[in-house]
Amino acid sequence: MTKTDSIIIRLATPKDAKAIQEIYAPYVRETAITFEYDVPTAEEMVQRIMKVEEKYPWLVAEEDGKVIGYAYASPFKERDAYQWSVETSIYVETGAKGRGIGRLLHEALEETLKVQGILNLNACIAFIEHDDPNLPLDSVYFHERMGYTKVAHFHLCGKKFGRWYDMIWMEKLIGEHQ
């Protein structure tokens, strides 16, 4: 557990599922940041948390007893040779953006993954070349600030709100490859 001022970063529990679902819901309903069309139920979130935590961390940022963000790692690919690589996901309550919560979550996630022997962090990010009301480029800029570099660009691979979106992959190497 990490504590900074009034924000605590800790492992998620199934009891956090409803709060996590409420944070995620506006991203599903109002943005192309996620390509999910339907908001998962709180029970689906319980299942997701439990599946991730079989192998990787699912962290939450809590302030005054309220979950205001979360981050987790999932397998980059299921094959054994990929075991040192993960995909990262970070979501912050829309009203709490710009306060450094994403950074705190990412730093805690990265440190935990280093202890687990993870060497590569990968982020799959929806992307569009021009202004779009459903897809701000905040995630791209955030990952650049966290030390990621763009390594792949897939064109017109996801459709949401009647519009096609690209997908980019960004990576950050956090360990020595021997």
Q: What is the pLDDT of residues 23-81, one digit of tens each?
A: 999 999 999 999 999 999 999 999 999 999 999 999 999 999 999 999 999 999 999 99
Rounded to whole angstroms, the Cα distance separating 88 from 7 reads 21
- CA angle, 116 then 120 then 125, to 5°: 120
Rounded to whole angstroms, the Cα distance separating 70 from 8 reads 11
What predicted TM-score, i.e. pTM, was given to this entire model?
0.94
Q: 153, 140 in Cβ contact below 8 A?
A: no
